[in-house]
Amino acid sequence: MHGDVPVVEASASDTLSAPGGAKRRLPVGAEPQPRGGVHFRLWAPRCREIAVEIEGLPALALATESGGYCSVYAGDARPGMRYRFRTDTADRLLPDPASRFQPEGPHGPSEIVDPAAFGWTDQAWGGRRRDDLVIYEMHVGTFTPQGGWQAAAAQLPELAALGITCIELMPVADFPGRFGWGYDGVNLFAPTRLYGRPDDLRDFVDRAHALGIAVILDVVYNHLGPDGNFLKCFSTSYCTDRYENEWGEAVNFDGPDSGPVREFFLANAGYWIDEFHLDGLRLDATQQIFDVSGDNIVAAVTRRARQAGRGRVIFVVGENEPQHARLMRPPEQGGYGLDALWNDDFHHSATVALTGRREAYYSDYRGTPREFVAAAKHGFLYQGQHYPWQDQRRGAPALDLPAESFVVFLQNHDQVANSAAGLRMQALTSPGRYRAMTAFMLLMPGLPMLFQGQEFAASTPFLYFADHNPELGKAVNEGRLDFLAQFPSLTDPETVRGLADPGADATFRRCVLDHGERERHAAAYALHRDLLALRRADPVLGRRPARVDGTPVGEQAWLLRYFADAADRLLLVNFGQDLTLAPMPEPLAAPIEGLAWQVLWSSEAPLYGGGGAPPLYCHGDLHIPGESALVLGPGPVTAASAPELQPGWQKKTHERRPGDG
């Protein structure tokens, strides 16, 4: 290799200037050129000699550039051709670290892809505002029996009709094996061949936009999978041992030679937004992304994603187990600029309330009305208090952040699978409680998220599955058992023997949704559909942001009041037995002057599988059925709501004190 030319810097523009007159979208990878041919570029400071071998063409040596980059222009190469790199650091041909497609998986050759060949129809699409989002977490491989983009796209009209406005795709960066969750991806720029070709993903996004649905992607920037990861053949600086990482080596974002590593991941963040028109990112396990530099990589990734959107609304949400609120604050306040974080506190409290189980990381929650009111008003429940389970403080003050900064959920891929049988929540609690908590979650302030199939009470479980080679599979299984051992209920030998094998094809197949359950479980589907319609169309519940206050009204009951200029709404939830609010010295329960409360919606409606609801008023006092939720609005005063209007009613006199005249 020879030569010394400037390093290409990434930007949000359509093309970048590159050595030799090439026009590039990204600083690395194989990119077709406007005049024909393909320009190849990668960062390979470890290699003294490197050549690209393109099918049917002579091998071409790459010329060195400054900073460890190298590149070559292949005039006879074209999209669809496959290629690999020959280096002096490996005894085999290697795929491109920035491959846009791996048709045979991570161990096979890379394929040249032309992103400009797809005919987009979403030119008028501007994205969805954060406040309008109803998120739907999707694992494409199990979302349909076919397990691909085309079959998933065929279900998009149904999701739009349900009221979904944002799909959150579990990771799709290519990984080895026949199936997996995607969190062990190794080809970060290559949509996995398991779900189709790159243009099939583009078509999925294009069709979603036509239906008003945004699409965001879960990306894993905290580690890389161990199988099929050839980055170290090009540079040993991609990872570092200076930090302990739960899933292997940490990525080097702040050490020696970290500049090109940062650029690699920043380019990836912009790539998904730019070339696939995605509407944002979900950043996995940000607490395991280590960076003590002056510009934290999480903040830099968020900026790059927004730049790549070119004016479209871009939504960036993070997972952060320690609940560091600064991730959601704007840069001018020292934050990282994320739009939202997942709210595990709400999930854990809801799980305790629904199941009564308090073990492992559920042990520091009580599932009380006070917790649910606090979650609705303040987001995280732990904002710096001592957290006995970890014997340290959890969270940081977040009282200044709006409710829409927190994603609330009853199910997600992790939490469903972190159990013995991967059962959905409706199988672990009573029908009435499940309907009531669903109503609270979908109507409370915050951004609601459903996990695929939740809307029709899917009977299929969601288990941990990963198709690894035998040696790695054994290690992964042992690690999985170690993780689950924190739950005492999962350590019994009989229970352990019954756990599904993550590497078995049958485990994967058991998790595939049956969309026929939309009709067979029509009551659950109607429940979610009508609640989302209320959230969207009700003149008060549909306001974002909403002015909300709340209070417990019993040992297992609470209310939220939504204020809206003489059109208030009251959301009442009762997890206990039938409850009459008498006496009720609580101003939040008081009706608007001159009016009374009337039922606008009830979780006990027979349409949803409920047993019907008794009258709202009992001798003038509000009456809430057991294990139910009610939405109330203002209505006319009636004899039921005002005892003084009933025949024969007599006003009670006030008690007199001794000495009164």
Q: What is the CATH number of domain 544-645?
A: 2.60.40.1180
The neighbour count for residue 297, using CB atoms within 10 Å, is 25
The Cα–Cα gap between 584 and 554 comes to 10
Q: Of how many residues is the chain composed? A: 661
CATH topology identical between 16-117 and 544-645: yes
Q: Which residues contact 519 (CB under 8 A, 6 or more apart)?
A: none
Residue 657 is predicted with a pLDDT of: 56
Residue 639, pLDDT above cutoff 90: no
284 noted as active-site residue: yes
The Cα–Cα gap between 476 and 483 comes to 11
Residue 660 is predicted with a pLDDT of: 52
Lowest mean pLDDT, pick from 14-18, 82-86, 194-198 = 14-18
Contact 50, 86 (CB under 8 A): yes
Residue 20 is predicted with a pLDDT of: 65
Degrees to nearest 5, angle at CA 212 with 206 and 218: 65
- Alpha-carbon separation of residue 487 from 361, 418, 423 (angstroms): 9, 9, 16
Lowest mean pLDDT, pick from 159-168, 204-213, 558-567, 650-659 = 650-659
For the residues 144-168, what does the mean pLDDT come to?
Answer: 98
The Cα–Cα gap between 60 and 56 comes to 12
pLDDT band at 16; cut points 50, 70, 90: low
Residue 36, pLDDT above cutoff 80: yes
The neighbour count for residue 224, using CB atoms within 10 Å, is 23
As a whole-number percent, the residues of the chain with pLDDT over 70 amount to 95
Three-state secondary structure call for residue 202: helix
Q: What are the φ and ψ backbone dihedral angles of 172, each rounded to 5 degrees?
A: -120, 0
Residue 9 is predicted with a pLDDT of: 40
Contact 588, 561 (CB under 8 A): yes
DSSP state, residue 595: -
- Alpha-carbon separation of residue 494 from 484, 497, 620 (angstroms): 14, 5, 55
For the residues 370-380, what does the mean pLDDT come to?
Answer: 97
For the residues 402-407, what does the mean pLDDT come to?
Answer: 94
- Alpha-carbon separation of residue 69 from 3, 7, 63, 264, 629 (angstroms): 11, 7, 9, 12, 61
pLDDT tens for 127-147 read: 999 999 999 999 999 999 999
395-399 contacts: CB < 8 A, separation 24 or more? 395/322, 395/323, 395/324, 395/325, 395/345, 396/323, 396/324, 396/325, 396/326, 397/325, 398/323, 398/325, 398/328
The residues spanned by each domain of the chain are: 16-117, 132-227+258-533, 544-645
Q: What are the φ and ψ backbone dihedral angles of 251, each rounded to 5 degrees?
A: -80, 140
pLDDT band at 2; cut points 50, 70, 90: very low
Query: Would you give the distance in Å from CA 537 to the centre of its chain?
Result: 24
pLDDT band at 523; cut points 50, 70, 90: very high
| Beta pairing class for 569-574 and 628-635 | antiparallel
Q: Using CB atoms within 10 Å of the CB of residue 111, give its burial: 0 to 12 exposed, 13 to 18 middle, 19+ buried.
A: buried
Residue 625, pLDDT above cutoff 70: yes
Q: What are the φ and ψ backbone dihedral angles of 48, each rounded to 5 degrees?
A: -90, -30
Residue 586, pLDDT above cutoff 60: yes
pLDDT band at 630; cut points 50, 70, 90: very high
The Cα–Cα gap between 46 and 490 comes to 46
Q: What residue has token string 């739960």?
A: 246
pTM, two decimals, is: 0.95
Contact 413, 139 (CB under 8 A): yes
For the residues of 396-464, what is the DSSP string, one character each? ---TTS-GGGEEEES--HHHHHSSSS---GGGSS-HHHHHHHHHHHHHSSSEEEEETTGGGT--S----
For the residues 5-31, what does the mean pLDDT come to?
Answer: 67
Structure tokens at 366: 């009580």
| Average pLDDT for the chain | 94
Q: What are the φ and ψ backbone dihedral angles of 466, each rounded to 5 degrees?
A: -160, 125
Buried b (16+ CB within 10 A) or exposed e, 599-608: bbbbbbbeeb
* Catalytic annotation, pick one of 319, 364, 371, 467: 319
For the residues 175-194, what does the mean pLDDT come to?
Answer: 97
Lowest mean pLDDT, pick from 172-176, 358-362, 650-654 = 650-654
pLDDT band at 15; cut points 50, 70, 90: low
DSSP state, residue 501: P
Residue 644 is predicted with a pLDDT of: 75
Greater model confidence, 21 or 156: 156
Residue 658, pLDDT above cutoff 70: no
The Cα–Cα gap between 422 and 532 comes to 26
Residue 200, pLDDT above cutoff 80: yes
Structure tokens at 436: 């009531």
Residue 507, pLDDT above cutoff 50: yes
Residue 661, pLDDT above cutoff 90: no
Three-state secondary structure call for residue 596: strand
The Cα–Cα gap between 275 and 265 comes to 15
Q: What is the CATH number of domain 132-227+258-533?
A: 3.20.20.80
* Catalytic annotation, pick one of 284, 404, 568, 604: 284
> What residues pair up with 318 in beta bridges, in sequence order?
283, 341
The Cα–Cα gap between 542 and 559 comes to 18
DSSP state, residue 640: T
* Fold of the domain spanning 16-117: Immunoglobulin-like (2.60.40)
The neighbour count for residue 61, using CB atoms within 10 Å, is 14
As a whole-number percent, the residues of the chain with pLDDT over 90 amount to 87
Structure tokens at 513: 């949704």
* Sign of the C-alpha dihedral computed for residues 190, 194, 198 and 204 taken in this order: negative
Structure tokens at 99: 């491959």
Query: Would you give the distance in Å from CA 135 to the centre of its chain?
Result: 7
Degrees to nearest 5, angle at CA 362 with 358 and 367: 75
Contact 5, 19 (CB under 8 A): yes
- Alpha-carbon separation of residue 473 from 75, 272, 507 (angstroms): 43, 30, 14
- Residue whose C-alpha is closest to residue 83's, from 114, 116, 51, 115: 51
Q: For the chain, how big is the Rg over CA atoms in Å?
A: 28
